Amino acid sequence: MNEILMSLSLIATMSSKTVTLSFDDGPSPTYTPQILEILKENNIKANFFVVGQMLERNPELVDQEVAEGHKIGGHSMTHKQLTKISLEKAKYEILESMRLVNKYQKSDLFRFPYGSHNKTLDTVIEKNGYRAIFWNTDSLDWKIYDSEAICDRVVVRLAKDKDDNDIILFHDIHPQTIQALREVIKYLKDHNIKTKTVE
Ligand SMILES: [Zn+2]
C-alpha cells in the first residue's frame, strides 16, 4: 500500500464506520461457495441480491446463504435494465423475484439492476412494501480484473467517505472478487471496522 493509502487508512481508523458487504447477480455454483467460505471463516454476515433465474438454477446455494445467517434480497428475474422495458415487464421482474426470495427468507430488500430506476418503479417498490437498496462504494469487480486494484479502490473510497455505514457492491460471479474480498476483509479487521447487514 502506498503512502496516500496509508494516510487515508488512518482517517478511516479514527471514524466509527461500519461496512456492509453486498454481493449481486448470483448465486453462482463456482464463486458463491468460495465467498460463503471466506465469510464464514471471518464470521461476517453479508447481503446477497440474487437474480431470480440464478436462484432457480441454484436453489441449494440460496438455502446455504440463509442457513449461514446472511440476508437475501431480490435483484430482478433476468437482470434487465428495468427503466428500458415496459412497466408490465418491469413489474414482473420485481414482483416475481421478490416472491421467489421470500420462499427462502422473509425480505423486503430489492436492488435495481445497474441501480437503474425512476419514479414509476420506485412507486412499484413502495406500494408492495419493499425497500430499494443501493450502494455507495462500487468495487468495480466486474470491470477490474486485478484483485489488489479492486481492494485499493474500495479502501480509498472507504477512507474518503464520510457516511457512517458504507455499502460495498461486489458480485459473486467473477473470479477476481474472491481474492479482493479476502484483502478487503483483512483491511477491515486491521482497522477494526465492523461489518453489518442491511436488515
Ligand atoms: Zn446486478
List pLDDT tens digits, range 18-44: 999 999 999 999 999 999 999 999 999
pLDDT at 7 (0 to 100):
64
The one catalytic residue among 25, 171, 172, 174: 171
CATH number (3.20.20.370, 3.30.70.360, 3.40.630.30, 3.40.50.300) of 3-9+18-195 reads 3.20.20.370
pLDDT at 161 (0 to 100):
82
Catalytic residue flag (residue 25): no
Catalytic residue flag (residue 161): no
List pLDDT tens digits, range 131-189: 999 999 999 999 999 999 999 999 999 888 888 899 999 999 999 999 999 999 999 99
List pLDDT tens digits, range 57-85: 999 999 999 999 999 999 999 999 999 99
List pLDDT tens digits, range 149-164: 999 999 999 888 888 8
Contact 47, 23 (CB under 8 A): yes
Residue 17 clears pLDDT 90, i.e. is over it: no
CA of 10 to the centre of ligand 1 (A): 32
CA of 114 to the centre of ligand 1 (A): 6
CA of 70 to the centre of ligand 1 (A): 18
CA of 164 to the centre of ligand 1 (A): 24
What the block records as the C-alpha cell of 58 is: 441454484
Contact 151, 122 (CB under 8 A): no
Residue 1 clears pLDDT 80, i.e. is over it: no
If one compares 7 and 104, the residue with the highest pLDDT of the two is 104
**Pairing assessment for the beta strands 165-171 and 71-74 based on DSSP bridges:** unpaired
The one catalytic residue among 24, 25, 141, 152: 24
Q: Scan for cell 425480505, then name that residue.
A: 107
pLDDT at 159 (0 to 100):
86
CA of 117 to the centre of ligand 1 (A): 13
Contacts with 166 (C-beta within 8 Å, 6 or more apart), sequence order: 17, 18, 19, 20, 136, 137, 157, 158
